[in-house]
Amino acid sequence: MSNQNAKTQTLSTHLELAYCIKQELTATYDMYLANQLAMLFSPILQDALRQIDERIAWKDNIFCILRYLAVITHALGTQL
């Protein structure tokens, strides 16, 4: 019977250890998610994203203007 008790105790210890590891992983994951959400809504990150959007829009506008000038220059060149 003592062999059975030892096996039961070992299984119990393993289950307790697995439960503790699961709890730690859950807590760590929850903290990670909270940090990610806080960073996502951080004013600094929002400002950086806004600046990136503005620069992309500015770049797109410049390319539109350059394409327009290229077309006009080409059209004027053929008329001259």
**How far, in Å, CA of 42 to CA of 50, rounded?**
12
Higher pLDDT, 2 or 26: 26
pLDDT digits (tens, 9 = 90+) for 8-53: 777 788 888 999 999 999 999 999 999 888 888 888 888 988 999 9
Task: Tell if the pTM clears 0.85, that is, is over it.
Answer: no
The answer to which of 4-8, 51-55, 56-60 has the lowest mean pLDDT is 4-8
pLDDT at 80: 55
Where would I find the H helices in the chain?
2-40, 43-79
Domains of the chain, residue spans: 1-41, 43-80
In this structure, the dihedral spanned by the alpha carbons of residues 45, 46, 52 and 54, taken in order and rounded to 10 degrees, is -160
Integer Rg of the chain from CA: 32
